[in-house]
């Protein structure tokens, strides 16, 4: 699977009654496609994966594939208990998704061999990118073993452990070759991309692309002032409250005119003061892009 450019992680919109707003999701993805993302990752972390029912997850993936129509790869979130992950994977395959971002099996502690068996079962359904974060902390040898599993095509890093990741990249490149994909999956990944590029990793997910694609694309194309004047203060705002990595994206979309509804519990929406600060930051970013 050829992934390149800025990776788009859409939110999952909810209507006034709290139900999945499929028409808004289609509009959201359509607007993102107009800015040429490298791929669409639907019903993943930014899409509140852990708050969706199995039916909502399947419908969100179907909306994404219907909207994208093969223009770029569509990958769906999957994970949690093995039975749930397999059900999500099969529904995604039926909807025409190209692959999966495999979320951690929450609260389940296992050996490397146990996690490999979990991954192997899901990868039998669709190609898998493993998400390293939370309870999933992999040593280089385990990643090499996972990279040999048929259907496992990459690793999204959400830890930010540069020493571990450098050793992992070197081991995989030595044992597997260049075809295995690594990408930066930290929240607001743009801020850490200088460090990841030093490890030989160019690909990253962009939460900003979901609500301000003009800014995300400008940074991708080398607008370095955005790092200090937009991304750094954005990360400071995001870090004030747990869960703001998602809440901030939905607030940004509402500020840009798309009513995607609130976040679901246990996440909380931005305070009014934080919404005002986000609005000012978006304005700063847009002014820098247009200058």
Catalytic member of 118, 131, 196, 244:
131
Q: What whole-number distance in Å separates Cα of residue 149 and Cα of residue 5?
A: 26
Mark whether 156 is an active-site residue: yes
String of DSSP letters for the chain: ----SPEE-----B-TTS-B-HHHHHHHHHHHHTT--SEEEESSTTTTGGG--HHHHHHHHHHHHHHHTTSS-EEEEE-SSHHHHHHHHHHHHHHT--EEEE---TT----HHHHHHHHHHHHTTS-EEEEE-TT----HHHHHHHHTSTTEEEEEE-S--HHHHHHHHHHHHHHT-TTSEEEE-STTGGGGHHHHHHTT--EEEESHHHH-HHHHHHHHTT-THHIIIIIHHHHHHHTTSTTHHHHHHHHHHHHTT-----PPTTS-PPPHHHHHHHHHHHHHHHHHHH-
Catalytic member of 156, 196, 231, 250:
156
Mark whether 118 is an active-site residue: no
Catalytically active residues are 131, 156
């Amino acid at each position: 699977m050829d992934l390149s450019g800025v990776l788009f992680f859409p939110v999952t919109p909810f209507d006034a009654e709290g139900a999945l707003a499929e028409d808004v999701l289609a509009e959201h993805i359509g607007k993102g496609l107009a800015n040429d993302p490298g791929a669409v990752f639907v019903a993943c972390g930014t899409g509140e994966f852990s708050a969706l029912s199995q039916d909502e997850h399947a419908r969100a993936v179907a909306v994404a594939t219907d909207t994208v129509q093969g223009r770029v790869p569509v990958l769906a979130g999957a994970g949690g208990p093995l039975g749930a992950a397999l059900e999500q994977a099969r529904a995604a395959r039926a909807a025409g998704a190209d692959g999966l971002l495999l979320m951690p099996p929450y609260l389940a502690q296992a050996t490397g061999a146990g996690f490999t068996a979990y991954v192997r079962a899901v990868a039998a359904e669709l190609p898998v990118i493993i998400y390293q974060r939370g309870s999933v902390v992999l040593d280089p040898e385990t990643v090499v073993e996972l990279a040999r599993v048929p259907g496992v095509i990459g690793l999204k890093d959400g830890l930010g452990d540069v020493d571990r990741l450098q050793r992992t990249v070197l081991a995989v490149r030595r044992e597997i070759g260049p075809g295995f994909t690594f990408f930066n999956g930290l929240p607001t990944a743009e801020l850490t991309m200088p460090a990841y590029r030093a490890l030989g990793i160019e690909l990253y997910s962009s939460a900003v692309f979901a609500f301000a694609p003009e800014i995300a694309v400008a940074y991708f194309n080398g607008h370095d002032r955005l790092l200090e004047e937009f991304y750094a203060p954005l990360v400071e705002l995001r870090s004030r409250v747990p869960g703001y990595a998602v809440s901030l994206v939905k607030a940004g979309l509402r500020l840009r005119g798309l009513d995607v509804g609130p976040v679901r519990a246990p996440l909380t929406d931005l305070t009014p003061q934080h919404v005002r600060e986000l609005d000012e930051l978006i304005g700063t970013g847009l002014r820098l892009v247009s200058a």
